[in-house]
């Protein structure tokens, strides 16, 4: 496994396992257990996913020492202020049945994120969180956030896949020492990504699937990535990406697929802002 060192010295696996939209608790537990057995050591969940308990059970069931597993969870919009953030963190900690969280993220750039960050900074300094970061922060919000807070986010988790490659955003993150992390690496199958001619041809060249090509492309860009699957064979396949390397020509071909726009949520859209603020846990 390749690791990336965050701006506070903490090391995070470059390839992890995500559990977004795995709503069935038994299915989630089994998927996380299979991921850990396959070799994954980064597990990414969130309060809004409503499956933290299942993640915690899978970690215990795996028998893998806690210090070998990197656990990420996230603070939802409705809890984004100083007082609620502390309570929400303790709730997540209890549901996960852990003594500390490796990475705690502000899930969306809305509500009182500055108050929430103060609470998270205190928890970080107390050792209850190993690293703190954000998610879905566009470059302008991220830079403003960095310039007005004591602790620079260790991570910014954003939509990153071949059709939205986040090249400029990543340059800005690097400037401030923030690690980019990809959610939705497969674009959730949109735009026919698994049948894409360029990706398919590259896959044939290396005897790898389109999914493996995408993950390898992200890893070679030093982007932390958290693919999701509930199928054991897919979980194992997605982990099997460290035995080949894309050449510069193939990396260049994939770069040409960039549309430079979200396939999911535009955080500048007022209706999206209203919707996210209206979602309660």
Domain ranges in the chain are 3-278
Quote the CATH superfamily of domain 3-278.
Answer: NADP-dependent oxidoreductase domain (3.20.20.100)
- Structure token digits, residue 157: 């988790």
pTM exceeding 0.85: yes
**49 is a catalytic site residue:** yes
Quote the pLDDT of residue 280.
Answer: 85
Q: What is the mean pLDDT of the chain?
A: 97
Give, rounded to a whole angstrom, the gap between the first and last alpha carbons of the chain.
35
**pLDDT bucket at 137, cuts 50 / 70 / 90:** very high
The answer to whether 267 is annotated as binding is no
pLDDT recorded at residue 275: 92
pLDDT for 169 equals 98
Per cent of the chain over pLDDT 90 is 98
Which pLDDT score, from 0 to 100, does residue 281 have? Answer: 84
Residue predicted with more confidence, 205 or 279: 205
How open is the CA angle 25-69-108, to the nearest 5 degrees?
65
Q: Quick one: how far is CA 118 from the chain centroid?
A: 22
Burial of 127 (0-12, 13-18, 19+ CB in 10 A): exposed
Helix (H) / strand (E) containing 88: helix 82-96
CA distances from 229 to 2, 48, 223, 260 (A): 21, 18, 19, 26
CA torsion angle 82 19 103 75 (round to 10): -10
The closest of 45, 36, 110 to 71, measured between CA atoms, is 45
CA separation, residue 108 to residues 43, 74, 80, 88 (Å)? 19, 9, 9, 15
Question: Catalytic: which of 49, 124, 176, 206?
Answer: 49
Looking at residue 58, the DSSP 8-state letter turns out to be H
pLDDT higher than threshold 90 for residue 140: yes
**The two structure tokens encoding residue 180:** 């980019």
Helix (H) or strand (E) holding 56: helix 52-62
- Are 220 and 251 in contact by the 8 Å Cβ rule? The answer is yes
Instruction: Provide the angle, in degrees to the nearest 10, between the axes of the packed helices 139-147 and 167-176.
Output: 10
Short-list 1, 8, 3, 64, CA closest to 36: 64
What's the whole-number mean pLDDT along residues 168-187? 98
Measured CA distances, 200 to 47, 165, 170, 264 (Å) = 36, 18, 26, 23
Beta bridge partners of 159: 183
């Amino acid at each position: 496994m390749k690791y990336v060192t965050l701006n506070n010295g903490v090391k995070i696996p470059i390839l992890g396992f995500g559990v977004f939209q795995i709503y069935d608790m038994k299915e989630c537990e089994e998927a996380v257990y299979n991921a850990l057995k396959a070799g994954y050591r980064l597990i990414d969940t969130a309060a809004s996913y409503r499956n933290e308990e299942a993640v915690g059970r899978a970690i215990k069931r795996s028998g893998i020492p806690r210090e070998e597993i990197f656990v990420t969870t996230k603070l939802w919009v409705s809890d984004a202020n100083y007082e609620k953030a502390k309570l929400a963190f303790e709730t997540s900690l209890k549901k996960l049945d852990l003594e500390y969280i490796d990475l705690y993220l502000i899930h969306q750039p809305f509500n009182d994120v500055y108050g929430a960050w103060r609470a998270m900074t205190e928890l970080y300094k107390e050792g209850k969180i190993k690293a703190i970061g954000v998610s879905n922060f566009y470059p302008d919000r991220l830079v403003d956030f960095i310039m007005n807070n004591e602790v620079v986010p260790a991570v910014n988790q954003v939509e990153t896949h071949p059709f939205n490659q986040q090249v400029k955003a990543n340059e800005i993150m690097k400037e401030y020492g923030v690690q980019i992390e990809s959610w939705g690496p497969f674009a959730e199958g949109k735009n026919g990504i698994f049948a894409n001619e360029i990706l398919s041809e590259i896959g044939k060249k290396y005897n790898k699937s389109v999914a493996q090509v995408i993950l390898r492309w992200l890893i070679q860009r030093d982007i932390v990535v958290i693919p999701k699957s509930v199928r054991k064979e897919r979980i194992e396949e997605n982990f099997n990406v460290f035995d080949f390397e894309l050449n510069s020509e193939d990396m260049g071909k994939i770069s040409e697929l960039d549309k430079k726009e979200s396939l999911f949520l535009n955080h500048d859209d007022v209706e999206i802002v209203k919707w996210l603020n209206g979602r309660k846990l």
